[in-house]
Amino acid sequence: MTFFYKTLPIFWMLLKGVLAGPWSAWMPENIAAFEGTCVVIPCRFNYPEELRPSAVHGIWYFNSPYPKNYPPVVYKSRTSIVHESYLGRTRLLGDLNTRNCTLQITRLSPELTGKYYFRGDLGGYNQYTYSEHCNLEIINKPTIVAPPEVVEGSEVELRCVVPDNCPEMKPIVSWTNHEGLAQYSVYGQVEEEGSTWSLISMLKFLPSRENNHQELGCKVNYINTTFEFDAAAILDVKYIPRIVQANSSAEVIQGSPVVLVCAVDSNPLALISWLREGDVLYEEVGRSLTLRLENVTYLQDGIYSCVAENIYGKENHTLALTVMYAPWKPVVNVSVIAVEGDPVTILCSTQSNPEPIITIFKEKKVMKTVVYSSQLALEFSSVTHEDDGEYWCIAENQFGQSGSAFNLTIEFAPLILPESKCTAARDTVQCICAAKSNPEAVIIFKLPTRNVTVNETDREFVYSQRTGYTITSILTLRGEVDSQLYIVCSARNLYGTKDQQLQFHHSNSLMWAKVGPVGAVVAFAILIAVVCYVSQTRKKKNMNESSSFMQTENPPVIYSGDYKTPGNLEKSEYGRHPGSDRRLLNKREDLGIDYANIDFTKLSTKDSYTLTEELAEYAEIRVK
């Protein structure tokens, strides 16, 4: 089918106005024409209104706007001197006095492809080359535009685009080799874009797989000429792949070989892929694809899919491959960090076939167990610092066992430990403050009676050491000990502050503070020995021998970690009975200490803070 179109002269279609500005021009950026035909480049220009030239001249340049570069002259209104390539080929269709610079070029040849610039000449220095230019393209065949997809059963439209920018030559467009198409129709239209014109011939039809690789042609002729330009397009009709053979679901034992086959019918050849749980294992373009699994393991258990796909569609086939295997290494949601009092849920999950027994341990103690389940949740409604530590999640079935360790870290406010105390000796007081916390606490010693606070930065007085969550600070004071002295241990972290007054381990006269930390331990052993010795001597009814250890005026003192008044000490001595002595002796192995007898009657009463070796007599008795 042939169509004939009579195009309108382009230069008559120009708008009367031009771009704003005193020196400005307008022309299409791009324009195309067939080799041997002609082209009209529409053009308008403007110049300052105050210039009133008696005559306006113009020059068209090729590929450069600057005269000093001596570009080829395409057309010049003052003279007929032009570049040899344009002799007899160019003429001005516009009237320069009306600011119309439209140019026609005939007998186009490939070397004329390029950029065209217009220069206005108003006389004297009033000459200006406009930066606006037109790109001319010389072609030798029309353009066939096909849709990106030609799918069986979907209507297709092919477009044959012919430039129509020469009013003197009339193109005729026709299609060839289209008679066998189903439900075809041909129609045409003229399109304008940027003041350039194109003649469009459209061929619509319904493709089938029989039309695949069929060649369709578009031909252009001009009346009263021998010019003929043609182009061809080869149809590429597609259809969705079809899977014609594939395996069905199967159960296998770990270590067995497996062969999976997928055969496909498609046009064009499909990309065939074997996937497991969405991950591509193997893919290839072709008509069939075989996946071989040697010695399958539990890692290869899952859903397998054969997918055949091209850009026009796809088809897939899914099968389940079940592998009997031991549990995977359990996965714990995360190692948890929590604040004391918070609720915490720890989730331990695994995968196996059959499903496993899952147990969570802490220090070999079973915290929770679940049977035949893939996950186990350990819940704490309110965690404490005692829940801190390492945990194990163990999963097992008849094929094996696997475990994972995880940590539960509890952050909590400081706790002052029982070993925190003060010990006085002669001219030295040593205080120990031990605090457990997470994060680590800052320990401060407060001396309210002296309005003083010290911490580990005062290295002359405080020494600190750290073990796990525990920090132990030791304060050492030297000099005379004030009887009113008391010391407060303060431990602080971001969760709180704990203050505790430290207990002094001494008698009413601060004797034990003078002895020192080591002496206090020895004295404790001596006093216990006194009690044991007295008990033994009473059993033997030997009062003479016992008098060498005891004075009726000053009964022996039983030392205790708890502070007691003299009245309490007296009651403790005279109110005891043999049964209590036996109970004390029976515990000597558990205590792991030695016993001694000491006579305090010779202590000086001059200065309760002065205790020398000369003033203390004691004997040591080791009970084996």
More confident residue, 352 or 594: 352
Length of the chain in terms of residues written: 624
Both structure tokens of 400: 């094996």
Give phi and psi for 512, each to the nearest 5.
-70, -30
Give me the pLDDT at residue 480, please: 72
Both structure tokens of 115: 């950029």
Flag whether pLDDT at 609 surpasses 50.
Answer: no
Buried b / exposed e over 400-420, threshold 16 CB at 10 Å, is: eebbbebebebbbbbbbbeeb
162 CB neighbour count, 10 Å cutoff: 24
Give phi and psi for 74, each to the nearest 5.
-85, -45
Residue 52: pLDDT band with limits 50, 70, 90: confident
Residue 174: pLDDT band with limits 50, 70, 90: very high
Residue 127: pLDDT band with limits 50, 70, 90: confident
More confident residue, 69 or 494: 494
* Separation between Cα atoms, residue 314 and residue 218, nearest integer Å: 33
Residue 235: closest CA among 150, 175, 148: 150
Please state, for a pLDDT cut of 70, what percent of the chain lies above it. 78
β-bridge mates for residue 477, sequence order: 429
* Separation between Cα atoms, residue 180 and residue 102, nearest integer Å: 46
Flag whether pLDDT at 605 surpasses 50.
Answer: no
Give phi and psi for 446, each to the nearest 5.
-110, 135
More confident residue, 364 or 371: 371
Q: What integer best gives the mean pLDDT of the chain?
A: 80
More confident residue, 473 or 326: 473
Residue 107: pLDDT band with limits 50, 70, 90: very high
Give me the pLDDT at residue 207, please: 92
Residue 394: closest CA among 419, 416, 365, 415: 365
Q: Which strand (E) or helix (H) includes residue 66?
A: none
SS3 124: coil
Provide the residue type at 286 as one letter: G
Residue 143: closest CA among 79, 78, 100, 191: 191
Give me the pLDDT at residue 536, please: 66
More confident residue, 610 or 58: 58
* Angle value at C-alpha 11, between 6 and 16, nearest 5 degrees: 130
Give me the pLDDT at residue 529, please: 75
SS3 324: strand
Give me the pLDDT at residue 184, please: 92
Give me the pLDDT at residue 23, please: 87
Q: Which strand (E) or helix (H) includes residue 407?
A: strand 400-416
Distances (CA, A) of 623 to 485, 491, 530, 536: 38, 41, 12, 12
Flag whether pLDDT at 611 surpasses 50.
Answer: no
DSSP character at residue 210: G
Distances (CA, A) of 482 to 233, 428, 477, 486: 111, 11, 11, 9
Residue 487: closest CA among 444, 436, 448, 457: 448
* Separation between Cα atoms, residue 512 and residue 503, nearest integer Å: 13
Give me the pLDDT at residue 513, please: 40
Give the rounded distance of the alpha carbon of 375 from its chain centre. Answer: 26
Give me the pLDDT at residue 514, please: 43
Give the rounded distance of the alpha carbon of 200 from its chain centre. Answer: 53
List, in order, residues 6 or more apart from 57 with CB less than 8 Å away: 76, 77, 78, 96, 120, 121, 122, 123
Over residues 372-403, the pLDDT tens digits come to 999 999 999 999 999 999 999 999 998 889 99
Give me the pLDDT at residue 523, please: 60
51 CB neighbour count, 10 Å cutoff: 13
More confident residue, 12 or 45: 45
Q: Which strand (E) or helix (H) includes residue 573?
A: helix 566-574
Residue 424: pLDDT band with limits 50, 70, 90: confident
Flag whether pLDDT at 492 surpasses 80.
Answer: yes
Give me the pLDDT at residue 451, please: 86
Q: Which strand (E) or helix (H) includes residue 534?
A: helix 517-539
Examine residue 171 and say whether the peptide bond preceding it is cis (omega within 30 degrees of 0): no
Flag whether pLDDT at 597 surpasses 80.
Answer: no
Both structure tokens of 226: 């021998």
> For the residues 285-305, what does the mean pLDDT come to?
91
Q: Among 89-93, 250-254, 563-567, which stretch is predicted with the lowest mean pLDDT?
A: 563-567
Q: Among 127-131, 525-529, 573-577, which stretch is predicted with the lowest mean pLDDT?
A: 573-577
Flag whether pLDDT at 623 surpasses 60.
Answer: no
Q: Counting Cβ atoms within 10 Å, is residue 193 exposed (0-12), middle (13-18) or buried (19+)?
A: exposed
Give the rounded distance of the alpha carbon of 238 from its chain centre. Answer: 41
> For the residues 214-225, what does the mean pLDDT come to?
92
More confident residue, 594 or 461: 461
Q: Counting Cβ atoms within 10 Å, is residue 422 exposed (0-12), middle (13-18) or buried (19+)?
A: buried
* Separation between Cα atoms, residue 43 and residue 18, nearest integer Å: 10
Give me the pLDDT at residue 620, please: 35
Provide the residue type at 73 as one letter: V
Task: Please provide the DSSP assignment of 256-323 as one string.
Answer: --EEEEEEEEEES-EEEEEEETTEEEEEEEESEEEEEESS--GGG-EEEEEEEEETTEEEEEEEEEEE
Give me the pLDDT at residue 5, please: 40
* Separation between Cα atoms, residue 435 and residue 308, nearest integer Å: 68
Q: Which is it for the CA torsion 277, 283, 289, 293, positive or negative?
A: negative
Give me the pLDDT at residue 524, please: 67
Both structure tokens of 313: 């569609």
> For the residues 586-611, what does the mean pLDDT come to?
36
End-to-end CA distance of the chain: 128
Residue 575: pLDDT band with limits 50, 70, 90: very low
Give me the pLDDT at residue 539, please: 55
Flag whether pLDDT at 404 surpasses 50.
Answer: yes
List, in order, residues 6 or more apart from 163 with CB less than 8 Å away: 31, 32, 33, 34, 139, 196, 197, 198, 199
List, in order, residues 6 or more apart from 71 with CB less than 8 Å away: 61, 62, 63, 64, 65, 117
> For the residues 38-64, what does the mean pLDDT come to?
90
Q: Which is it for the CA torsion 82, 86, 89, 92, positive or negative?
A: negative
Residue 606: pLDDT band with limits 50, 70, 90: very low
More confident residue, 465 or 594: 465
Residue 353: pLDDT band with limits 50, 70, 90: confident
CB 241 within 8 A of CB 270: yes
* Separation between Cα atoms, residue 517 and residue 519, nearest integer Å: 6
Q: Among 2-6, 378-382, 436-440, 607-611, which stretch is predicted with the lowest mean pLDDT?
A: 607-611
Flag whether pLDDT at 18 surpasses 80.
Answer: no
